[in-house]
């Protein structure tokens, strides 16, 4: 079956604009994660959704960042009033409740 | 606090040489540890996990609770092993949030 997909693959935006990044997890996977991969910074956890439980938002760097997961499937990560330091690759992963995480190809965000 | 440390940012070896990518962790409970790999222009993917005790692409990793380490080893490196390697820890319990090391970039030279 299809793996995790993300769109867009690349996004260039001006500082101050809002952006939305989309993640389509593997069908049937109950858990969904967002990470950020910055140059030289490794992987940074952002937010985690598990079924109908309240999401773990402990990794969101500021209140400009938010995420939703509709119907237990597709997720959207929204960054408001983007700043240059938001430039990074944003990765989405999904998993069954106790299984390995499957990653999408990422969205490369560039804030100019 | 849980932490994963990969002390080497870059590791360069020659083809056929042994390679060891170091990973140390701090965690008070019983950790579940993974190695993920990201080849150039490919997505991040699981390489191996300690509970399965398997060898993937010639790589092995043994959990050493005494030394809190989970080093990744391969006796004879190949050029196609060149990639970014991440060590990660999952806490026991319901939140399967991975805690990541910063990664080690492995370059295998001909």
What's the pLDDT at B93?
67
Residue contact A50–B46, C-beta within 8 A: no
Sheet of B60-61, strand order: B19-21, B72-74, B60-61
What's the pLDDT at B37?
95
Q: How far apart are CA A96 and CA A35, in angstroms?
A: 17
Q: With bands split at pLDDT 50, 70 and 90, how would you rate the model's confidence at B41? A: confident
Residue A99 is classified by DSSP as S
What's the pLDDT at B4?
94
Of A48, A100, A104, the CB nearest to B97: A48
CA distance to A16, A50, A65, A78, B16, per residue, from A56 (Å): 26, 9, 13, 16, 44
Min Cα–Cα distance to chain B from A79, Å:
21
For B16-64, give the DSSP string.
Answer: TS-EEE--EEE-SS--EEEEEEE-TTS--EEEEETTTT--BTTBEE--B
What's the pLDDT at A2?
79
Q: What is the mean pLDDT of residues A88-104?
A: 88
Given a cut of 80, whether residue B99 has pLDDT beyond it is yes
Kindly report the CA angle at A44 between A5 and A66, in degrees rounded to 5? Answer: 65
Q: With bands split at pLDDT 50, 70 and 90, how would you rate the model's confidence at A99? A: low
What's the pLDDT at A40?
67
Chain B residues lying within 8 Å of A103, measured CB to CB: 43-45
What's the pLDDT at A41?
72
Q: How far apart are CA A99 and CA B49, in angstroms?
A: 11
Cβ–Cβ contact B92 with A under 8 A: no
Q: How far apart are CA B70 and CA B22, in angstroms?
A: 7
- Which candidate in B42, B96, B100, B101 is best for mutational testing of the A interface (most A CBs within 10 A)? B96
What's the pLDDT at A97?
64
Q: Is A74 left (phi over 0), alpha (psi -120 to 50) or beta?
A: beta
Given a cut of 60, whether residue A1 has pLDDT beyond it is no
- Which candidate in B2, B90, B94 is best for mutational testing of the A interface (most A CBs within 10 A)? B94
Min Cα–Cα distance to chain A from B43, Å:
5
Residue contact B45–A103, C-beta within 8 A: yes
Q: What is the mean pLDDT of residues B29-53?
A: 88
> Please, are residues B5 and B21 in contact by the beta-carbon 8 Å criterion?
no
Per-residue pLDDT reduced to its tens digit, B51-89: 787 888 999 998 998 999 999 999 999 999 999 999 999
Per-residue pLDDT reduced to its tens digit, A37-93: 987 677 889 999 988 888 999 999 999 999 999 887 999 999 999 999 999 999 999
> What percentage of residues in chain B have a pLDDT greater than 90?
69
């Amino acid at each position: 079956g299809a793996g995790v997909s993300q769109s867009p693959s690349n996004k260039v935006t001006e500082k101050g604009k809002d952006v939305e990044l989309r993640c389509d997890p593997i069908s049937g996977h109950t858990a969904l994660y967002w990470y950020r991969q910055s140059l030289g910074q490794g992987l940074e956890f952002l937010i985690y959704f598990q079924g109908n439980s309240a999401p773990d938002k402990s990794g969101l760097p500021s209140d400009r960042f938010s995420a939703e997961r509709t119907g237990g499937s597709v997720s959207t990560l929204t960054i408001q009033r983007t700043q240059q330091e938001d430039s990074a690759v944003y990765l989405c992963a999904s998993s069954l409740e106790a299984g390995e995480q499957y990653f999408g190809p990422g969205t490369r965000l560039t804030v100019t | 606090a849980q932490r994963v440390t990969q002390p080497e940012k870059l590791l360069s070896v020659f083809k056929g040489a042994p390679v060891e990518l170091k990973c140390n962790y701090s965690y008070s409970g019983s950790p579940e540890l993974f190695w993920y790999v990201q080849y150039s222009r490919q997505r991040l993917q699981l390489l191996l996990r300690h509970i399965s005790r398997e060898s993937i692409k010639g790589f092995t990793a043994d959990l050493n609770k005494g030394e809190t380490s989970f080093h990744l080893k391969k006796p004879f490196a190949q050029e196609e092993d060149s990639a970014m390697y991440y060590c990660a820890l999952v806490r026991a319990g319901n939140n399967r949030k991975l805690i990541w090391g910063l990664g080690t970039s492995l370059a295998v030279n001909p």
